[in-house]
Amino acid sequence: MKVGIVGLGYVGLPLAVAFAESGHEVVGLDADTHKVQSLERGESYVEDVGNEALAAVSGRLRPTNRYSDLASCNAVILCVPTPLTSSREPDLSYLVDSATSLSQVLQPEQLVVLESTTYPGTTRERLVPLLEESGMAAGRDFHLAFSPERIDPGRTDYTVRTTPKLVGGLTDACTERTRALYAEICDKVVVLSSPEAAELAKLLENIFRSVNIALVNELAQLCDRLGIDVWEVVDAAATKPFGFMRFDPGPGMGGHCLPVDPFYLAFKAREHDFYPEFIELAGKINQAQPEFCVERIEKTLNSAAKPVKGSRVLLLGVAYKAGSGDTRESPALKMIRLLRELGAEVSYHDPHVPQLPEHGLASEDLDAELAEADLVAIVTAHREIDYEAIVGGGSLVLDFRGVTRGISAENLVRM
């Protein structure tokens, strides 16, 4: 089988490697010439895909930026970004551009699968008309389905192979073609009745997390006023063996999915005169969490008779999650901007993020910055960091991740 992958980022590249590892020929397309050139050199830019993995499939994975190379593929999978506009509404421009280009080379009997997270109805209402510009009819002349990505960057316990795959096709034949495609690389494929069901299932997965994270983030703000240790409360509640699922507070949500998905569903709901207030409120709480964290930094500095203006603040971690270099929608980026607006001198250390060019920053030597910083804020809980050494060497340490539980020190403050 020959499989085309459009979009070779955190989702598309691991998927391309998985198909190539299973013995299939893969055409990987990306509009970013630098990514294509990097893959041609055998150099990975995605942490979950090592150079060794690329070398092992070099004969079966061909990177390109030409849509004409997809014409010979049996299946084409779209893994393009679906971000938000500046007004927090769905931005489907990447999807529209890729589908329009694909329609010009689409072949009879080809299978097209959308993996990008989006609102219910996107596959049928937006993708079908674009692909039918080819002169062919979806479900009759070519196959079309939605199968949401479930990639969790930095995770090793669940892989493309071991994570169940949802599929929902335009027709029964579309669904069966998609099921057979993913059965090549996934141990379990779950068949749904429609693309809409698959699209909404993906949103539910992430909104479930968003709502529960918002709950504990709001609890953390209340605990701050009550003078109660939120981590002790969460630890205690988590001892209940039934009826409770643990979620931890933090500086806010990041990545492509969690900060974005509630707004995608809310957009679709409004088209039907329905307003998901509960879901939207959770999104607003999580979006505002970095502001609360900056207020805590200001308060902690004040307690040490130091103003924010002119103080050196070291952020420990700027990736949105531990073990990853992904900074998409990372709360640390918002914290950097807010702290600078208050006049703080901001630096960061992150072993997974060497540079933040949009902020004019690079990861600093930890020992040197630790000695100079007026306050160290633990924003991302990377496992390779020695937090006892951070507390021991830092002037003032503010922990937003709860990684210093079990450590007692006068210079340590936890959210």
pLDDT tens digits for 376-400? 999 999 999 999 999 999 999 999 9
Neighbours of 259 (CB within 10 A): 24
pLDDT tens digits for 348-358? 999 999 999 99
Spatial neighbors of 357 by CB under 8 A, at least 6 apart, are none
Tokens of 39: 């893959």
**Residues 323 and 383: beta-carbon distance below 8 Å:** yes
What pLDDT was estimated at residue 309?
A: 97
pLDDT tens digits for 249-302? 999 998 877 888 888 999 999 999 999 999 989 988 999 999 999 999 999 999
Per annotation, catalytic residue among 79, 174, 223, 257: 257
User: How many whole angstroms separate alpha carbon 360 and alpha carbon 106?
Assistant: 43
Largest distance between two CA atoms of the chain: 72
User: How many whole angstroms separate alpha carbon 407 and alpha carbon 414?
Assistant: 10
Return the C-alpha torsion angle 49, 50, 51, 56, nearest 10. Answer: -70
Active site residue 223: no
Tokens of 79: 């893994």
pLDDT tens digits for 142-191? 999 999 999 888 788 899 999 999 999 999 999 999 999 999 999 999 99
Helix runs in 304-355, H state only: 331-341
Closest of 297, 279, 283, 265 to residue 373, by C-alpha? 297
Give 90's DSSP letter.
B
**Which strand (E) or helix (H) includes residue 177?**
helix 172-183
Q: By percentage, how much of the chain surpasses pLDDT 70? A: 100
